[in-house]
Amino acid sequence: MVDFSIWDIFRNLLLAARWTIALSLIAFVGGGLVGLALLVARIARWPGAEPLARGYVQLFQGTPLLMQLFLAYFGLGLFGINVSPWVAASLALTLYSSAFLTEIWRGSVASVAKGQWEASAALALSLGEQLRHVIGPQALRVAVPPTVGFLVQVVKGTALASVIGFIELTKAGTMITNATFRPFTVYACLALMYFALCYPISAWSKSLERKLHGQR
């Protein structure tokens, strides 16, 4: 048996943390792009976009992320694709994030006063110009705090990728436990690690929110 000091536990968890961070970024950026596309389709009132988007959001918010991960993992396998946990986890977390982000942003766009739409339309701005110059900047201010807050959800969500064999923080914690037989210490360190990742983002989101309400 290998002798693990507390430092060794921490060092190995720190090494694994980069995969948690990488997966979170992939999911957040990917989810942002898909979410944005959905948002535009809804704003532009494409036929069928609204009920489709609503069903999509309900689907991802109404089922466990764990099952979504399994579906991606087994589902991609059906197409004969050799699924690595990377691909399955990225796909599932991207779709999961997109459903939440599109809903957050739809709310932000809805919070912009209707008169702004009418005034910019009266100035003969096209939909793209309206979004870029009038609605976008105002909606963005409202959208930033909850979007940053959602990043915490994504980081915590990546912990579930350990279940389909993706080696990130949680999986590394389990593996270190199996090597050291010190579950209490390892899982406590693991929780601290997540806390160190998530708490600053939560605090940032909260301060952004306070600033936003201060301006009004």
Residue closest to 104 by CA, chosen among 60, 149, 138: 149
Binding positions for other proteins, 177-216, rule CB under 8 A = 177, 182-188, 190-191, 194-195, 198-199, 202
* Footprint on residues 32-61 left by other proteins (CB under 8 A): 58-59
* CB of 199 vs other proteins, minimal distance in Å: 5
Which listed range, 34-42, 111-119, 136-144, 157-165, lies at the site for other proteins (CB under 8 A)? 157-165
| Binds other proteins by CB under 8 A, chosen from 32, 85, 145, 173 | 173
Does 75 engage in binding with other proteins (CB under 8 A)? yes
Chain centroid offset of residue 206 CA: 17
CA distance 43 to 70: 32
Q: Which phi-psi region, left, alpha or beta, contains residue 4 (left: φ > 0; alpha: ψ -120 to 50)?
A: beta
Secondary-structure breakdown of the chain: helix, strand, coil percentages, each rounded to the nearest 5: 85, 0, 15
The CB-of-156 to other proteins minimum distance in angstroms stands at 4
By the 8 A CB rule, do 196 and 19 touch? no
Q: Is residue 64 at the binding interface for other proteins, with CB under 8 A as the rule?
A: yes
| Minimum distance, C-beta of residue 24 to other proteins, in the bound complex (Å) | 11
71 lines the binding site for other proteins (CB under 8 A) = yes
Contact yes or no for 101/31 (Cβ under 8 A): yes
CB of 164 to other proteins, least distance (A): 11
The single residue listed with the structure tokens 């999986």 is: 171
12 binds other proteins (CB under 8 A): no
Decide: is 68 part of the binding site for other proteins (CB under 8 A).
Answer: yes
Cα–Cα dist 146/127, whole Å? 25
The answer for 126, left when phi > 0, alpha when psi is -120 to 50, beta otherwise, is beta
User: What residues line the site for other proteins (CB under 8 A)?
Assistant: 58-59, 62-68, 70-71, 74-75, 77-79, 152, 155-157, 159-160, 162-163, 170, 173-174, 177, 182-188, 190-191, 194-195, 198-199, 202
